[in-house]
Structure formats: C-alpha cells, structure tokens
Amino acid sequence: MWSYVIRRLVYSVPTLLGAALVVFSLFHLVGGDPATLLLGKHATAERVAMVRSELGLDQPLPIQFGHYLKEIVTFDFGKSYTTREVISDRILKGVGPTLSLSIPAFFLTAFFSLLIALVVSYFRGRWIDRASLVFFVVLMSMPGLAYILFGQYILASKLGWFPISGYGSGWSERWYYLALPVLISVFLNLGSDIRFFRNSIIEESTQDYVRTARAKGLPEIFVYL
C-alpha cells in the first residue's frame, strides 16, 4: 500500500510541474505586462522599468519560473500586482465563504439525490421512473446560468424570498444569504447525481446477495433500505 502511495506521488510530480509551466507560460504570453497594466499606458519607460524591477519581472524567465515554483511549494504567493494585497491573505479570506457554500450544498445534494434515486429505482420501469428520467435530463440540459438568473430575478428580485447579494456579519445572518446559492447549487447537480445513483442502485440490485435476500422472502422495500 505504501509503495503504491509513494509511486503515485512520484508520478504526480511531472504532472504538477507541467501544469505550473502551462500556467506560467500563459501568464507571460497572454496576461500582458503587469507593470504597464499597473501604471497605465501613459507611464514613462523609466517608471515601467522600475516597477518591473520591483516585481522581479526583469529577471530571466527560468529564474522567474523558479521563484514561481518556490511560491507554490511554500504557499507564499507574494502580493497582487493591482491591489498590492498579500495573495495568501486573500485566499484565506475566501476559504470561509467557499466552504460555507460548498459543504452544505454537497451534503444536501448527496442526501436528496440518494433519496430520490432509491424511490425511482424502486419503481423502475414504471411511469414514475420514465417521467423522472425525462425531468432529470431536462435539469441536466439547462445551463447553470439559467438557474442563477432565475434565482436572482424571480426568487430574489421579484418575490423577495432571498437577498440578491451579501454574506452577513454572523452565522445567523449568513444562512439567510447562503440559502439561494446553496439551493441553486443543489439543483445544478441534482439531475446527474440522481441518474448516477439510480444506475448504481439498479446494478447493485442484480448482485447475488440481493437475489438471495429476495429468495429468502425479504420484502422489496427492505432490500432497498
């Protein structure tokens, strides 16, 4: 087991280096000159050169790439070129809102997807199963932007059930602000997750131990439970 883990970690090193090289190359190819973007197009050449020196952009690309790898390994990403704010602090500030949205959305999606998939697979082949498949395919076919626009315009703006933006100052307020994004996230993933769980449950219901349970007289409802 440990040899497998170590082998996978070793194999991941070239992949990570390749990804870092691609990101670094794209930044320099299409990102533009940060010094010029920071100072504006009317800045003098001397001022641009000074800022490039302060940012380390006047060094050769291999040396800049080495500094970039060091920042990744040490989790010290320096400062933003535009706001001069420490990037690590900005990431830490975003961890709380991100987790407070993604964790409830993940568990709610898993709970409702598994529950609905159990019901649908129990009635497989019947009209409930066929109608639900059509409905879930429609959910999967709708773009995420449609859910967002519907939630913000209808539920938030017109009906006033949710706030359009904000995060709140305490957890009692934040749940009110997070309700709509969590709801949208659940509906975004509900269709695909239900289809996945349904197919997995139906496939598992054909296994030998399930057929044995049915042969011994176990009711179908308990087989799924």
- Looking at residue 150, its pLDDT comes to 82
Q: Indicate whether 105 and 14 sit together in one domain.
A: no
Q: Indicate whether 130 and 37 sit together in one domain.
A: no
Q: Indicate whether 146 and 219 sit together in one domain.
A: yes
- Looking at residue 224, its pLDDT comes to 65
Q: Indicate whether 63 and 132 sit together in one domain.
A: no
Express each pLDDT in 179-202 by its tens digit: 888 888 888 888 888 888 888 777
Q: Indicate whether 71 and 43 sit together in one domain.
A: yes
Q: Indicate whether 81 and 164 sit together in one domain.
A: no
Point out the residues of the chain with pLDDT beneath 50.
none
Number of domains in the chain: 2
* C-alpha–C-alpha distance, residues 89 and 85, integer Å: 8
- Domain finish residue from 63, 85, 107: 85
- Domain finish residue from 85, 111, 134: 85
3-state secondary structure the chain: CHHHHHHHHHHHHHHHHHHHHHHHHHHHHHCCCHHHHHHCCCCCHHHHHHHHHHHCCCCCHHHHHHHHHHHHHHCCCCECCCCCCEHHHHHHHHHHHHHHHHHHHHHHHHHHHHHHHHHHHHCCCCHHHHHHHHHHHHHHHCCHHHHHHHHHHHHHHHCCCCCCCCCCCCHHHHHHHHHHHHHHHHHHHHHHHHHHHHHHHHHHCCCHHHHHHHHCCCCHHHHHC
Q: Indicate whether 127 and 187 sit together in one domain.
A: yes
The residue segments making up the domain with residue 124 are 90-224
- Domain finish residue from 65, 85, 105: 85
Q: Indicate whether 121 and 53 sit together in one domain.
A: no
- Looking at residue 31, its pLDDT comes to 63
Q: Indicate whether 61 and 96 sit together in one domain.
A: no
